[in-house]
Amino acid sequence: MIEVSNLDVIFGRGTPLEKQALNGINLTMQQGSFVTVIGSNGAGKSTFLGTLAGDVIPTSGKVVINNKDVTRQATAERAKLVARVFQDPLAGSCGTLTIEENLALAAARGKKRGLSPALSSSRRAEFRERVAGLKLGLENRMQDRMELLSGGQRQALSLVMATLAESEVLLLDEHTAALDPGMAEFIMELTRKLVAENKLTTLMVTHSMRQALDYGDRTIMLHAGDVLLDVQGDQRKNLGVEDLVKMFRDVRGQNIDDDALLIG
């Protein structure tokens, strides 16, 4: 479970560039819930995920994960609790290492030791099996360097890597935005499967109103650093893409075109 209370983030405090990115967020997410996060550019979505991951330390307020106050805990310290996949397929893995080496590093996430001891044959077989499960044929390329793969292939492996080590929370920050529609769909179905299998408490930022309603069990909209909309259950089932778009228009003013909302 994630409990966030009175969360404020102010960047560049006391400088001319001072910016309040988060403005008193209160939110409780039950164990295993899958929350989709929408909001226009600059709403505070990435900053919010950053406070959960540990790379943004809040100005005030509290972040509690599984009854542990992690507000000021560094990213590395909470790595065994929180896994992440970014928008940029290059951000989640190391291009000059092989697929297998990347998986070994991911499996060691949050543990004291890194790559050593050398990959045992049983470990190799386990990784190969996981990768074969993607049905992308990558199990035959385990010794290939990651940089040889397409963005979609890397993103699929990033998801596998995020779920290799045990964790409680999965943070996805527009992780399909850089992919073509077919691959984005594939990655979304993989996301759905891995989240369910691993019972992860998940936050997924998306620009697509359709994705926001089709995936997960709860949707929140951030605006100016606070939660403006929070729907689940029947209320969410009764909500259509056009309702979300209307809410967007209402908070943003009318000067926003449909393309910017990725309605499809």
Q: What are the residues binding ligand ADP (CB under 6 A)?
A: 11-12, 19, 21, 39, 41-47
Q: How far is the CB of 151 from ligand ADP (least distance, A)?
A: 20
CA distances from 57 to 22, 63, 71, 78, 241 (A): 11, 10, 7, 13, 34
**Separation of alpha carbons 252 and 250, rounded Å:** 6
Which of 173, 188, 205 has its CA nearest to residue 91? 173
H helices within 148-227, ranges in order? 151-162, 181-198, 209-214
33 binds Mg ion (CB under 5 A): no
Closest residue by beta carbon to Mg ion: 46
List b or e across 27-56, with b for residues whose CB sees 16 or more CB atoms inside 10 angstroms: bebeeebbbbbbbbeebbbbbbbbbbbbeb
Minimum distance from residue 170 beta carbon to ligand ADP (Å): 17
| Least Å from the CB of residue 224 to ligand ADP | 9
Stretch that binds Mg ion, among 46-54, 71-79, 90-98, 136-144 (CB under 5 A): 46-54
Please give the Cα distance from 220 to 97 (Å, whole number): 37
Binding site partner of 12, from ligand ADP, Mg ion, none, Cβ cut-off 5-8 A by kind: ligand ADP
Residue 60, SS3? Answer: strand
Report the nearest approach of ligand ADP to the CB of residue 50 (Å).
7
Q: What is the CB neighbour count within 10 angstroms for residue 57? A: 13
241 binds, among Mg ion, ligand ADP, none (CB under 5 to 8 A by kind): none
Q: Residue 133: name its binding partner from ligand ADP, Mg ion, none (Cβ under 5 to 8 Å by kind).
A: none
Decide which of Mg ion, ligand ADP, none touches 151; Cβ closer than 5 to 8 Å per partner kind: none
Pick what 122 binds: Mg ion, ligand ADP, none; C-beta below 5 to 8 Å, kind-dependent: none
Q: Which residue has the tokens 């939110």?
A: 27
- If residue 250 lies in a helix (H) or strand (E), which one and from where to where? helix 241-252
- Which of Mg ion, ligand ADP, none interacts with 44 (beta carbon under 5 to 8 A by kind)? ligand ADP
DSSP for 116-144? Answer: PSPPPHHHHHHHHHHHHTTTSSGGGGTTS
**CB 215, min distance to ligand ADP, A:** 18
Q: Which is nearer to ligand ADP, 49 or 157 (CB)?
A: 49
- Among residues 33, 36, 46, 155, the one that binds Mg ion under rule CB under 5 A: 46
The footprint of Mg ion (CB under 5 A) covers 45-46
